[in-house]
Amino acid sequence: MGKIDKNGQKAHVVAVDMGYGHQRAAHPLHVLAYQGKVINANDYSGIPESDKEIWHESRKLYEWISLFKKTPLIGEFVWSFFDNFQKIPKFYPKRDLSDPNMQLKYFMWLIKSKNWGKHLIKKLEKKPLPLITTFFVTAFMAEYFKYSGDIYCLATDTDISRTWVPEEPITSKINYFAPNYRVEQRLKLYGVSSDRIFLTGFPLPLDNIGGPDLNILKRDLGRRLYNLDPKRRYIKNYDETIRDQLGSKNMPNKKHHNLTIAFAVGGAGAQRDIGIAIIKSLSRKIKRKEININLIAGTHKEINDFFRDTIKDLGFGANLDKNIKVIHAPNKEKYFKEFNKALSNTDILWTKPSELSFYTALGLPILMAPPIGAQEQFNRKWLRTIASGIDQEDVRYTNQWLYDWLDSGWFAEAAMEGFMEAPKYGTFNIQKIISKKVEEAKIMKTILQY
């Protein structure tokens, strides 16, 4: 497993600007991308207005429903109706699940009848490198409009709906990067041939991993364990195993930073109130500067303003930008860099079980806010299965249950379980596959010249 080749220009990496999940998955792959840039299928230079409008309406509908879900009585009904279109069928009993669902048929109708995405694919065709996309629709566009390069679709959840696979999976040329074993098996049930499925893991940021020896990850996890197990209950019982996995040099004998919680708001901002409830419950610890809170506002200025204004109104102005920080940036690229930087000193990641579930591989225990949508229900199940995630208790009493769990050593155990059980090498594995494909293409080109 070699190092990432940072010269790039090996693939077109295509995401979509809808929430954070698809772009977060693509961000670590920019080192493989042509000209070092990730393309957003719904926001690139020269995109036709007709295409932009279809993308805009899809995003606006999802964000509106995510926020409307909080409306008493009718909100849950509307969300359930919408979520039914993207639901994931039961895995057992194992059976043929290759029949296309309504959501897939709708997307294909848009592609075929509106030429949705044709402009993008023809633009990429000018340099037909392997195409890596983190959104299934872009893969369908590439296949339908006969993109001549190899097509790779990276799944961004721990289980996926039928919508990720084209109408005729047997004859499709789309390859898949599966982030975990369940997705690999699910793709087979949907009719994808096993030779077009690569079990890679989810691509994680190199800023938080380091090299293939995981030097940065192990250093950060060692520091984290010191905070997560104040009574040394877990560490004392598993000291030999921990040192074997992380190396003794990564086991500090003093505190590197205050206990730090990062609460990440989803792309639609539907759970922002949880962040404020955390601040209220931990008020004494915050004012004594005994704990650090990072509120992740992402790229949303209104959420950033909401957090900062509310924190001041609650009387925590003196703590703002000190042991209470609001992580915000004007665009996704800068936000991901700031977020990854903050994760280095984060001990507990509190978030709904989105694509961030895979970040437990960085040795982060996941405190789960209520899931939104079928995919997040499955992400929640996966985190609980590998014992690195747990549902939040009543947020009003965070100051009680949080410290009970710390004293028990559970957070330290969850951090190690995430590190041990969740896939960590996704970025390297994808790079290896693409590099091999590029080299094969060069050899074939040379042969054809003769």
Give the tens place of pLDDT for each residue, 285-312: 999 999 999 999 999 999 999 999 999 9
Q: Is 389 part of a structural domain of the chain?
A: yes
**197 shares a domain with 232:** no
Distance, CA of 189 to CA of 51 (rounded, Å):
32
**250 shares a domain with 199:** no
* Confidence at residue 118, expressed as pLDDT on a 0 to 100 scale: 98
Closest residue by Cα to residue 133 from 65, 50, 234, 41: 41
Counting the structural domains of the chain, the total is 2
Q: Is 3 part of a structural domain of the chain?
A: no
**179 shares a domain with 33:** yes
**249 shares a domain with 212:** yes
**143 shares a domain with 101:** yes
Which region holds residue 289: left if phi is over 0, alpha if psi is between -120 and 50, else beta? Answer: left
* Confidence at residue 1, expressed as pLDDT on a 0 to 100 scale: 43
Find the CATH number of the domain harbouring 217.
Answer: 3.40.50.2000
**435 shares a domain with 367:** no
**360 shares a domain with 398:** yes
**330 shares a domain with 182:** no
> In which order are the strands placed within the sheet that holds 11-15?
33-40, 11-15, 131-133, 151-154, 174-178, 197-199
**112 shares a domain with 260:** no
Yes or no: say if 362 and 343 are a contact pair by the CB < 8 Å rule: yes
Tokens of 246: 């992380």
CA distances to 11, 209, 319, 408 from 412, in Å: 39, 19, 27, 9
CA angle 98, 13, 129 (to 5 degrees): 90
* Confidence at residue 373, expressed as pLDDT on a 0 to 100 scale: 80
Q: Is 171 part of a structural domain of the chain?
A: yes
**225 shares a domain with 81:** no
* Confidence at residue 439, expressed as pLDDT on a 0 to 100 scale: 81
Distance, CA of 207 to CA of 219 (rounded, Å):
12
**pLDDT by position in tens, the chain (length 450):** 445 555 556 899 999 998 899 999 999 999 999 999 999 999 999 999 999 999 988 766 555 555 555 666 565 655 465 555 568 899 999 999 999 999 899 999 999 999 999 999 999 999 999 999 999 999 999 999 999 999 999 999 999 999 999 999 999 999 999 999 999 999 999 999 999 999 999 999 999 999 999 999 999 999 999 999 999 999 999 999 999 999 999 999 999 999 999 999 876 677 899 999 999 999 999 999 999 999 999 999 999 999 999 999 999 999 999 999 999 999 999 999 999 999 999 999 999 999 999 999 999 999 999 998 888 999 999 999 999 999 999 999 999 999 999 999 999 999 999 999 999 999 999 999 999 887 877 776 667 666
Full residue range of the structural domain in which residue 388 is found: 206-421
Q: Is 250 part of a structural domain of the chain?
A: yes
Torsion of CA 210, 215, 220, 225, to 10 degrees: 140
Report the DSSP beta bridge partners of residue 240. Answer: none
**242 shares a domain with 372:** yes
Largest pairwise CA distance in the chain: 76
Q: Is 220 part of a structural domain of the chain?
A: yes
* Confidence at residue 72, expressed as pLDDT on a 0 to 100 scale: 66
**430 shares a domain with 400:** no
Give the tens place of pLDDT for each residue, 248-279: 999 999 999 999 999 998 766 778 999 999 99
* Confidence at residue 69, expressed as pLDDT on a 0 to 100 scale: 57
Distant-in-sequence contacts of 315-322, Cβ < 8 A, 24+ apart = 316/279, 316/283, 316/286, 316/287, 319/286, 319/287, 319/289, 322/289
Reported as half-sphere exposure (CB side, CA atoms, 13 A), residue 84 has a value of 7
Neighbours of 191 (CB within 10 A): 20
Q: Is 148 part of a structural domain of the chain?
A: yes
Q: Is 1 part of a structural domain of the chain?
A: no
Q: Is 309 part of a structural domain of the chain?
A: yes
Find the CATH number of the domain harbouring 103.
Answer: 3.40.50
